[in-house]
Amino acid sequence: MLQVNYIRENRDKVLERLSVRKFKQPELVDEIIKIDEERRQAQTSLDSLSAIANASAKQIGELMRNGKKEEAEVLKSETTANKEQIKNLSEVLVAAEEKLFQLLVQLPNLPHESVATGNTAEENEEILIHGEPAVLGENAVPHWELTTRYDIIDFELGTKITGAGFPVYKGKGARLQRALINYFLDKAVEAGYREMQVPLLVNEASGFGTGQLPDKEGQMYHSGVDNLYLIPTAEVPVTNLYRDVILKEEELPIKNTAYTPCFRREAGSYGAHVRGLNRLHQFDKVELVQVVHPDNSYETLEQMSAYVQDLLKDLGLHFRVLRLCGGDMGFAAAMTYDMEVWSAAQQRWLEVSSVSNFETYQSTRLKLRFKGAAGKTQLAHTLNGSALALPRIVACILENNQTDKGVKIPEVLVKYTGFEYID
């Protein structure tokens, strides 16, 4: 969430950066400034009247102690109007603060200066491309046919049990999933991340803290009886470990990793582009989360991007890195890199990871701060990234590595799978 003081003092810059996102409600900025001015005026008047009331109360007490009851009663009657004004101003202040909050949560984060203006994925910037596309034989097929051929993932059985988008992994398919999870976790721990195991259900405060609520409630599965949400990513519970926490500067950076299933309704997603593993309602992912000093967050973002790229290189995948334009970024992000792997069988790029810097947007909501050596308390920066999301990685491994002998497992995974081929 943006801080109102920053908006008030940097109105033109806020409007300029929101235009990079093609934000459709720029009028909210001036409305926020207007409501904030009303709130501040109400607070000033309330503070003044409260000071007068406190002084009068003290004076009345002294008069009563000195036996001047009549004078005290006169002063009491004079303060009645003051008390009524205080009550009215308090109500005005509460209403202004609530209105201000409702407006602030509608503003997305401000894009970093290097983020380009744009509306759609076609306007994202290609930063680099690694490797060459896999060369497949004439009989190559997309992954949804391979999963049936080798009986490793059953989409129809998942539909029977739950519904579309909830596949059942079988035999070597299940073992490949487990191998990837263990490989990604082991690599993260080697890189200095602390492994965490977190709840798969979160409350509203947690969803608000990381920016999923109130922006994305329609994309989250909700348990109405208990008012809990199934997590769309481990980012939510892991980052909320530090909600309402004041860290010491020497504790930074904090680096956590977690494997979880993820749940997304993906309402309105239909068509061939979401077939098979391309888009699911339940999928597995290993997430990286960092809490860092503001001075280091963009260096950290580059390091996290490079780390994900190394994973893709180890798996032998042809990929590219995109810096998202303003209109294609998530609501809470200041800058995002997407990593996309080339699917040789589908002849298209598939997103497998997003790595984002949220600057202080999440930490403002979370009240996540740190105290420096001089005793000054300030907001930390938060970052996260997928390292990695499994479905499309599995799809690309199956498609790009299909041979006459079967699907060849990437060398780095063989010690985890215990087999070299799916056949």
What are the beta bridge partners of residue 403? 406
Whether 349 maps to a domain, the answer reads yes
Do residue 154 and residue 95 come from a single domain?
A: no
Confidence of residue 373 (pLDDT cuts 50, 70, 90): confident
What are the tens digits of pLDDT across the range 47-100?
988 888 788 778 878 877 888 777 777 777 777 778 888 888 999 999 999 999
Structural domain total, the chain? 2
Domain for residue 86, yes or no? Answer: yes
136 with 62, same domain?
Answer: no
Let me know whether 390 and 304 are in one domain. Answer: yes
271 — pLDDT class (breaks 50, 70, 90): low
Same domain for 157 and 270: yes
CB of 8 closer than 8 Å to CB of 33: yes
Mean pLDDT of 168-175: 98
The reply to whether 318 falls in a domain is yes
Tokens coding 214: 């109130």
Determine, yes or no, domain membership for 113. no
We report the CATH number of the domain holding residue 186 as 3.30.930.10
**74 and 157 both lie in a single domain:** no
Same domain, 26 and 85: yes
Structural domain ending residue among the three candidates 75, 104, 133? 104
* Under 8 Å between Cβ of 410 and 179: no
Q: Is residue 110 part of a domain?
A: no
Residue 52: which CATH number? 1.10.287
Q: Let me know whether 69 and 133 are in one domain.
A: no
Mean pLDDT across 376-384: 97
Query: Which residues 6+ apart lie within 8 Å of 134 measured at CB?
Result: 318, 342, 344, 399, 400, 401
Give 194-217 pLDDT, tens digit per residue.
999 999 999 999 999 999 999 788
Tell me: do 234 and 380 sit in the same domain: yes
Pairing of strands 381-389, 348-357: antiparallel
In contact, 381 and 303? CB cutoff 8 Å: no
Residue span of the structural domain in which 8 resides: 4-104
Q: Residue 359 falls within a domain, yes or no?
A: yes
Task: Of 121, 32, 48, give the one whose Cα is nearest residue 348.
Answer: 121
Together in a domain, 77 and 141: no
3-state secondary structure of 404: coil
* Same domain, residue pair 88 and 158: no
**pLDDT confidence of 418, banded at 50, 70, 90?**
very high
| Residue, of 358 and 74, whose pLDDT is higher | 358
- The DSSP 8-state label assigned to residue 401 in this structure reads T
Tell me: the pLDDT tens digits for 140-152?
A: 999 999 999 999 9
- Distance, CA of 380 to CA of 109 (rounded, Å): 15
Domain end residue (candidates: 69, 104, 139): 104
- Rg from Cα positions in the chain: 27
Does residue 109 lie in a domain region? Answer: no
CA distance 226 to 232: 18
Name the band, by pLDDT with cuts 50, 70 and 90, for residue 135: very high
Residues 368-385 have a mean pLDDT of: 94
- Is 112 a member of any domain? no
In this structure, the number of other CB atoms found within 10 A of the CB of residue 55 comes to 11
Residue 372 token pair? 């420096």
Same domain, 242 and 305: yes
What is the pLDDT, as a whole number, of residue 268? 52
Single residue among 71, 104, 137 that ends a domain in this structure: 104
Same domain flag for 325 and 258: yes
Query: How many CB atoms are closer than 10 A to CB 87?
Result: 10
Element (H, E) at 1: none
pLDDT of residue 149: 97
